[in-house]
């Protein structure tokens, strides 16, 4: 099966003195348009896996293909290019520039893609419509509620039309009602052109994704999908 994300026999061992084996033989294929929750107890390897999917870390061994690119074959500069053009990131802490407008927070994310200023603004407006924030375009980011701030961060991530949206505990700083809205928004963004992968401790967030991959001690111990049924390992 061809996937937008393909991991084969991936191990990640952090260097001494800890020499922790964070991932211990991960085989995972994620197809275009899937929504995937990666779950597991603290220390199970979720963040490490997300960093590898996001090309922020390289595996110690095994192969990783992201949007068709074989990570081990690419230089750091080429990997940055993959990150900038094929991946979008959303974090628990939002990471907005509070003094900038909502529009500028989203548009500036496109500078690294070499998009001209006028197109940056058009794409940013489109993305803000998509996340339901058209009414807040001129506000400063610092004036927004937590849920609105996360919507801006999601707009920034999708404005570049990434193949994969990677989210790290995206509802972690939100109350449960707002978190549920953000979860619905994220799963609704998935489609033929966009795949959503998030890590979470929250069982309701995980259940809202069509596939759940559960890690224990750096291994996948269950992989459940409403589309294809359960594959336990």
Quote the distance between the C-alpha of residue 41 and its chain's center: 19
Which of 28, 36, 45, 186 binds ligand ATP (CB under 6 A)? It is 45
Which of these ranges, 36-44, 72-80, 106-114, 138-146, lies near ligand ATP under the rule CB under 6 A? 36-44
CA-closest candidate to residue 158, choices 63, 229, 88: 88
Q: Do the beta carbons of residue 74 and residue 58 sit within 8 Å?
A: no
Q: 């991936």: which residue's tokens? A: 10
Query: Can residue 40 be called a binding residue for ligand ATP (CB under 6 A)?
Result: yes
Q: Report how far apart, in Å, the C-alpha atoms of 30 and of each of 59, 72, 124, 142, 200 are.
A: 18, 19, 28, 36, 17
Which of 5, 44, 152, 158 binds ligand ATP (CB under 6 A)? It is 44
Which of these ranges, 16-24, 64-72, 137-145, 181-189, lies near ligand ATP under the rule CB under 6 A? 16-24
Which of 7, 22, 166, 186 binds ligand ATP (CB under 6 A)? It is 22
Closest CB to ligand ATP among residues 22, 26: 22
d(CA 178, CA 171): 8
Residues touching ligand ATP, count (CB under 6 A): 12
Which of 8, 47, 63, 222 binds ligand ATP (CB under 6 A)? It is 47
- Provide the 10 A C-beta neighbour count for residue 55: 23
Residues that bind ligand ATP (CB under 6 A): 14, 18, 20, 22, 40, 42-48
């Amino acid at each position: 099966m061809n996937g937008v994300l393909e991991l084969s026999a991936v191990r990640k061992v952090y260097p001494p003195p800890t020499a922790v084996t964070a991932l211990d033989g991960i085989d995972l294929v994620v197809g275009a348009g899937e929504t995937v929750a990666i779950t597991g107890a603290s220390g199970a390897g979720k963040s490490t896996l997300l960093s590898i999917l996001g090309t922020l870390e390289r595996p110690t061994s095994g192969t990783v293909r992201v949007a068709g690119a074989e990570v081990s074959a690419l230089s750091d500069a080429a990997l940055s290019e993959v990150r900038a053009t094929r991946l979008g990131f959303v974090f628990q802490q939002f990471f907005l520039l509070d003094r900038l407008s909502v529009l500028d927070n989203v548009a500036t994310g496109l500078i690294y893609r070499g998009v001209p200023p006028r197109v940056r603004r058009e794409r940013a407006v489109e993305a803000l419509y998509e996340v339901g924030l058209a009414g807040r375009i001129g506000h400063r980011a610092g004036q927004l509620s937590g849920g609105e701030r996360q919507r801006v961060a999601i707009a920034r991530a999708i404005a570049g039309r990434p193949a994969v949206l990677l989210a790290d505990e995206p509802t972690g700083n939100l109350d449960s009602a707002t978190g549920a809205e953000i979860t619905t928004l994220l799963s609704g963004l998935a489609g033929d052109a966009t795949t959503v992968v998030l890590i979470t401790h929250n069982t309701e967030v995980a259940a809202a994704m069509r596939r759940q991959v559960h890690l224990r001690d750096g291994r996948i111990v269950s992989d459940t999908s409403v589309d294809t049924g359960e594959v336990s390992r």
